Structure 1
Amino acid sequence: MTINSATKTLGFILLAAGIILIGWTLNNSYNIFTGKSAPSEIFVMSEIKISSQPGGPDIQAQVQQMLAEQLKGMLPVNSVPRLLNMVIWSALAGILILGGAQIAGLGVKLIK
């Protein structure tokens, strides 16, 4: 095996690896955005529980509870963390696609 054929073989391997990386990323993105799978949960919102002090009604706790109930009516509970998780996945997918394109580009240069 000569150096030229080894270089071309490595070029084809890099080209295939780049195309596979791009295809895998696009497939996962399609599955996430159509709801077939969930994105990685980086941002998780925990449930906030308000407990009142014994001995009488606490006005501040009541106001916080009323405000929390009103916000739940306007904004679904997990919409903000879900949006942030989608944005993080989109950024990661963009990085993976650019990386796959660079790998495939190296493969094409080695083939020539």
Structure 2
Amino acid sequence: MRTKQIVGWVLLVIGILMIGWAVFSSAQIFAGAKKPPQVFEPQPRGLEMSEAASLSDGISSDDIQKQLDKALAHQIGRILPAGAVPSALNLFAWSLFVGIVMFAGAQIANIGIKLIT
């Protein structure tokens, strides 16, 4: 009986520590004191608009498609900053990971509480 309560208290403390670590780490990341783990890397930028807009005689449909793709990429680049999408995805991945850790900590603490009582 005594061993069961000791194991219960240990599990309760482990669960609370997991939740505390997740909250503390998230607070540091969202406050800007620490960067989130880089799961998604920003890709290097393509050609500039001046290069994409240069036309020459005898253009094939493939060349026109490539130039339209470059022009579209340039316009999207003007709307969204260079690393906005990877940064948002990294924050989402971090939030998902922290949610899983907090859920696991809550479940471990719950098992500890059941062993204590």
SS in 2 for 1:45: coil
Counterpart position of 1:89: 94
- Could you tell me which runs of 5 or more consecutive residues in structure 1 were left unpaired when the two chains were aligned: none
Distance in 2 between the 1:42 and 1:65 partners? 26
| CA RMSD across the alignment | 2.2
SS in 2 for 1:81: helix
Per the normalisation by structure 1, the TM-score is 0.82
Corresponding letter in the other structure for 2:109 = A
- Per-residue deviation, 1:80: 0.4
Identity of aligned residues (%): 35
Q: 1:24-103 residue pairs with structure 2 within 5 A?
A: 24-50=21-47, 57=56, 60=64, 63-103=68-108
Larger mean Cα displacement after TM superposition, 63-72 or 87-96 = 63-72
- Per-residue deviation, 1:93: 0.9
Counterpart position of 2:111: 106
- Per-residue deviation, 1:50: 3.8
**Could you give the per-residue CA deviations for residues 17-52 of structure 1, whole angstroms, max 9, x where no partner exists?**
000000000001111111111111111122034497
Distance in 2 between the 1:64 and 1:40 partners? 31
Corresponding letter in the other structure for 2:13 = A
- Per-residue deviation, 1:73: 1.6
Corresponding letter in the other structure for 2:85 = V
- Per-residue deviation, 1:67: 3.3
Counterpart position of 1:10: 7
SS in 1 for 2:14: helix
Per the normalisation by structure 2, the TM-score is 0.79
- Per-residue deviation, 1:69: 3.1
Distance in 2 between the 1:79 and 1:6 partners? 52
SS in 2 for 1:86: helix
